[in-house]
């Protein structure tokens, strides 16, 4: 009797065992409505066009070699859905409990820290908007070249610079701050 039950349950047990799997990403198609991945799963098992679910408002284009957690709907290997992608090669380490980071493979990082927000990039950072408002008690800018209004422009007087009060001409303006 037990043997008959075991034989009857074997197909179901196999499907349950194959419902969740780990995979390595081989290729990414980021042009479709839903990102599609080519995955390497079990030995010699490759799945093409596996849909990747991403959280609303967040998206990424993982590198080949990143790892994925795949759920197979109904335990059927022909219908996989990637529910999470991890790439330990680039993961930010050393966050304090409760901190959150957005990062990429170029060491560009935004960290929601316990005491504020930190943005780091080895590349140019651009803010593009019709209007930017900063509300703060103190704003500190540390730079060797500040260009108000764009590149070039006349020197700007700073506290302590010499200004001819009759003509309004700056006699000894800043070499670091200019304005158009």
Model confidence pLDDT, tens digit, residues 26-70: 999 999 899 999 999 988 899 999 999 999 999 999 999 999 999
Shared domain for 33 and 103, answered yes or no, is no
Q: In this model, does residue 6 exceed pLDDT 90?
A: no
- Beta strand pairing call for 116-120 and 100-103: unpaired
Of 79, 81, 105, nearest to 91 by C-alpha is 105
Shared domain for 153 and 180, answered yes or no, is yes
Parent domain of 34? 2-86
Model confidence pLDDT, tens digit, residues 97-155: 999 999 999 999 999 999 999 999 999 999 999 999 999 999 998 888 777 776 666 66
Shared domain for 80 and 145, answered yes or no, is no
Shared domain for 73 and 8, answered yes or no, is yes
- Straight-line distance from the first to the last Cα atom of the chain, in angstroms, rounded to the nearest whole number: 91
| Predicted local distance difference test score (pLDDT) of residue 174 | 64
Cβ distance 100 to 58 under 8 Å?
Answer: no
**Dihedrals φ, ψ of 133, to 5°?**
-120, 130
Of 180, 175, 133, nearest to 152 by C-alpha is 180
Q: Is 95 helix (H, G, I), strand (E, B) or coil?
A: coil
Residue whose token pair is 């060797």: 144
Identify the CATH number of the domain in which residue 19 sits.
2.40.50.140
Query: How much is the average pLDDT of 80-108?
Result: 96
Shared domain for 15 and 46, answered yes or no, is yes
Residue 156 CB: number of other CB atoms within 10 A? Answer: 15
Q: Distance between CA atoms of 180 and 175, rounded to whole angstroms?
A: 14
Q: Is 94 helix (H, G, I), strand (E, B) or coil?
A: coil
Q: In this model, does residue 12 exceed pLDDT 80?
A: no
Instruction: Supply the pTM of this predicted model.
Output: 0.74
Quote the tokens at residue 80: 């996989």
Domain count, the chain: 3
Shared domain for 6 and 45, answered yes or no, is yes
CA atoms within 13 A on the CB side of 34: 12
């Amino acid at each position: 009797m037990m043997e008959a039950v075991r034989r009857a349950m074997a197909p179901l047990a196999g499907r349950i065992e194959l419902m969740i799997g780990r995979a390595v990403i081989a290729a990414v198609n980021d042009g479709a409505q839903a990102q599609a991945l080519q995955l390497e799963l079990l030995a010699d098992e490759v799945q093409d066009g596996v849909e990747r679910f991403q959280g609303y408002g967040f998206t990424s284009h993982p590198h080949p070699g990143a790892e994925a957690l795949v759920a197979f709907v109904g335990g059927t290997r022909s219908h996989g859905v990637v529910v999470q992608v991890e790439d330990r090669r680039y993961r930010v380490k050393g966050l304090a409990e409760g901190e959150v980071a957005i990062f990429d493979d170029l060491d560009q990082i935004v960290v929601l820290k316990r005491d504020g927000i930190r943005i780091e990039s080895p590349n140019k950072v651009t803010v593009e908007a019709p209007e930017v408002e900063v509300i703060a008690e103190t704003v500190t800018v540390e730079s060797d070249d500040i260009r108000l209004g764009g590149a070039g422009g006349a020197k700007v007087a700073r506290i302590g610079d010499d200004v001819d009060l009759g003509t309004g001409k700056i006699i000894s303006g800043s070499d670091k701050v200019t304005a158009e």
